[in-house]
């Protein structure tokens, strides 16, 4: 495992060519590496989402393409004759840890292979293609023939070398739960190795809306919200149809705010306002100050970079087996381009490999609730394939609640992702079908709303909001997309009257006007909402009005490995499997039959933190 992926933290903000080795965030298509901090003029100059555009180096040709955000990606490409010698990132706005990592990977591969016919990063296809297009445009502007840069790089054969490693704790997966566990284990005195099969960190958490539910006396009191641990417990337990393990629910609700304080102690920032995320049932959702889920990973990676001697992170490294000897888990087997790895864990292995929302075969195998899920999109990243559950079951772990698969009514009609969603809070929007009529309580549980949506024509709806959600056109949604951008791209519609909005989206103007008027009367409490809705704040009465299309999408798998309150994995007889711990979406028994909106991220933090501590201390 030779070359260091040192640049991970810097490279995602990068403008310079990096010389490390994992395609995860940067570099060549080789493999694993340890993530540490590295010096970079890019990070110093502040290239990133909201940074000013950098000037190209003398002689560089500026190539431009539209990035994932819809904003320009600008690259300065330097040549010596026909050879591409350097690619400088001048301006980019894609998400840190995902889009930016993909762009850097393309840059490194283009320089290495002198070809734009390079692989795109799984889970960041649009960003990867934008980088390829920007380089291609620079080649054209240079007066060179792009056809000369289309040679497909030969695949490098994987090494057959065998590698042996040893650490106190080995973590499977570098998503939210995995990195929380790694940091926690190290804080409790353990040396840690983390293996991630994907070319980037973050899992589903980094591309999530990032809402974090917790009873927070300070922020909630300021908002006039009354809450309690017992109220949170009741809503979570009953909201999951009383199918969850009560002791896990109690552990969750009691530790949610202390875990948030733990994040803050590591440097993470949350906004002061409290809101109600879709399906949360109560205003206790916290929003990180950084966009989407990047704040969690900025926080974890800052810690890991500062403790790089004790915490090693390997990307593009797939764990294939959990090793169990004499009844105890003692390590894992893994593979990457450097060879076959056996990593021994003195104190324990933490399974944080995520759910199976992106595994169509697996979700159809366990689905007993929904229509066939073969053609339904997913919000999940492509690495969410259930590997951690399968490997744990192979050594005797018990799987529970596997049939409990959560769908959301909020998927992009084309991709299934959550991007493009125009809602800002549950209280200030309604859903209407293709006829312009409301059809469900928009403050209800996620499964209730999704089942209601499946009954509508084409399983299709429009989200309707007004100026209360977007006071100005540059206000962004939870995915760092401004409403003006979404309108310009045709992903949202804008009008000064409800009737004009109805015409733009092709619904009956009378029906839409009636839907809005009825909702406004319910806000006024002059009528009882016909769908039983109780969560309100503002009327929909202030132009401009906006509409965005949504369809059902697979979002979260509530089933998985059964654990104790100490995150120890249980076998089929209810006995602890010594040396094996689990956290995050790979586990079951926490959410029951329905996960409340805003509970996924704290799940990763709460039980990731517990798993790290338990493994390090031998609990």
- β-pair partners for 407: 554
Find how far residue 456's CA is from the centre of its chain.
28
CB-based burial label for 496 (10 Å; 0-12, 13-18, 19+): exposed
Q: Tell me how far apart the alpha carbons of residues 133 and 127 are, in angstroms, rounded to a whole number.
A: 10
Pairing status of strand 72-80 against strand 493-495: unpaired
Show which residues are catalytic. Answer: 446
Tokens 């990132």 belong to residue: 89
251: which 2 tokens? Answer: 């552990």
Q: Tell me how far apart the alpha carbons of residues 235 and 449 are, in angstroms, rounded to a whole number.
A: 17
Q: Tell me how far apart the alpha carbons of residues 233 and 256 are, in angstroms, rounded to a whole number.
A: 11
18: left (phi over 0), alpha (psi -120 to 50) or beta: beta
Q: What share of the chain is helix, strand, coil (3-state, %, to 5)?
A: 30, 20, 45
3-class secondary-structure state, position 243: coil
Instruction: Give, as one character, the DSSP assignment of residue 507.
Output: S
Q: Tell me how far apart the alpha carbons of residues 483 and 466 are, in angstroms, rounded to a whole number.
A: 11
Angle at 124 between CA 179 and CA 291, to 5 degrees: 60
Q: Tell me how far apart the alpha carbons of residues 474 and 69 are, in angstroms, rounded to a whole number.
A: 13
Q: Tell me how far apart the alpha carbons of residues 333 and 329 are, in angstroms, rounded to a whole number.
A: 12
Cβ neighbour number for residue 169 with a 10 Å cutoff: 28
Inter-residue contact 54 to 41 (CB < 8 Å): no
* DSSP letters spanning 410-459: EE-TTT--STT-----GGG-EEE-TTS---S-TTS-HHHHHHHHHTSGGG
Inter-residue contact 342 to 356 (CB < 8 Å): no
- Dihedral pair phi/psi, residue 572, rounded to 5°: -70, -10
**CA nearest neighbour of 88 among 124, 41, 49, 44:** 41
Q: Tell me how far apart the alpha carbons of residues 212 and 221 are, in angstroms, rounded to a whole number.
A: 17
> Sign (positive/negative) of CA torsion 238, 239, 242, 246?
negative
Q: Tell me how far apart the alpha carbons of residues 405 and 463 are, in angstroms, rounded to a whole number.
A: 23
Cβ neighbour number for residue 613 with a 10 Å cutoff: 20
Beta-carbon contacts of 547 under 8 Å, excluding residues fewer than 6 positions away, are 422, 462, 463, 464, 492, 493, 501, 504, 505
């Amino acid at each position: 495992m030779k070359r260091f992926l040192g640049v991970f933290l810097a490279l995602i903000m990068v403008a310079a060519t990096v010389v490390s080795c994992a395609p995860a965030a940067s570099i060549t298509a080789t493999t694993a590496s340890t993530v540490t901090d590295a010096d970079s003029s890019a990070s110093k100059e502040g290239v990133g989402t909201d940074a000013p555009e950098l000037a190209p180096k003398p002689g560089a040709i500026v190539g431009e393409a539209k990035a994932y955000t819809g904003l320009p990606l600008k690259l300065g490409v330097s040549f010596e004759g026909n050879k591409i010698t350097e690619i400088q990132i001048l301006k980019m706005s894609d998400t840190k840890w995902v889009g930016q990592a993909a762009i850097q990977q393309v840059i490194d591969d283009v320089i290495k292979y002198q070809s734009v016919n390079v692989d795109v990063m799984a889970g960041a296809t649009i960003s990867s293609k934008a980088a390829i297009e920007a380089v291609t445009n620079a080649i054209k502007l240079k007066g060179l023939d792009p056809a000369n840069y289309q040679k497909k790089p030969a695949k490098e054969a994987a090494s057959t070398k065998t590698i042996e490693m040893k650490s106190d704790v080995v973590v499977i997966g570098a998503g939210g739960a995995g990195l929380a566990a790694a940091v926690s284990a190290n804080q409790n005195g353990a040396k840690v190795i983390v293996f991630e099969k994907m070319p980037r960190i973050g899992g589903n958490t980094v591309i999530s809306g990032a809402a974090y539910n917790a009873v927070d006396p300070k922020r909630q009191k300021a908002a006039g919200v009354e809450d309690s641990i017992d109220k949170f417990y009741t809503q979570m337990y009953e909201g999951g149809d009383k199918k969850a393990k009560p002791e896990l629910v109690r552990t969750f609700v009691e530790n949610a705010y202390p875990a948030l304080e733990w994040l803050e102690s590591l440097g993470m920032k949350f906004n002061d306002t409290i809101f109600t995320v879709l399906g949360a049932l109560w205003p206790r959702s916290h929003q990180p100050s950084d966009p989407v889920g990047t704040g969690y990973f900025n926080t974890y990676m800052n810690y890991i970079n500062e403790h790089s001697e004790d915490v090693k992170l390997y990307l593009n490294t797939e764990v294939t087996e959990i090793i169990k000897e004499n009844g105890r888990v003692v390590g894992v087997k893994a593979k990457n381009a450097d060879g076959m790895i056996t990593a021994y864990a003195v104190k324990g292995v933490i399974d944080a490999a995520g759910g199976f929302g992106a595994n169509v075969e697996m979700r159809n195998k366990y689905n007993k609730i929904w229509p066939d899920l073969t053609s339904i999109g997913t919000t999940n990243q492509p690495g969410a394939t259930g590997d951690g559950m399968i490997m744990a079951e192979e050594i005797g772990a018990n799987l529970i609640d596997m049939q409990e698969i959560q769908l959301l009514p909020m998927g992009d009609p084309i991709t299934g992702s959550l991007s493009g969603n125009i809602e800002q809070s549950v209280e200030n929007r309604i859903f209407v079908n293709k006829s312009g009529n409301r059809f469900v309580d928009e403050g209800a549980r996620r499964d209730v709303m999704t089942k209601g949506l499946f009954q509508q024509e084409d399983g299709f709806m429009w989200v309707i909001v007004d100026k209360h959600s977007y006071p100005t056109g540059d206000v962004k949604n939870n995915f760092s997309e401004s409403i003006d951008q979404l309108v310009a791209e045709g992903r949202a519609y804008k009008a000064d009257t409800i009737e004009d909005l109805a015409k733009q989206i092709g619904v009956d103007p009378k029906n839409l006007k009636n839907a809005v008027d009825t909702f406004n009367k319910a806000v006024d409490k002059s009528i009882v909402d016909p769908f039983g809705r109780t969560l309100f704040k503002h009327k929909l009465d202030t132009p401009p009005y906006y509409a965005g299309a949504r369809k059902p999408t697979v979002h979260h798998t509530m089933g998985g490995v059964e654990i104790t309150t100490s995150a120890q994995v249980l076998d089929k007889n209810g006995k602890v499997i010594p040396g094996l711990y689990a956290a995050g979406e790979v586990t079951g028994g926490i959410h029951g039959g329905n996960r409340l909106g805003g509970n996924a991220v704290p799940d990763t933090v709460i039980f990731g933190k517990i798993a790290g501590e338990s493994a390090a201390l031998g609990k």
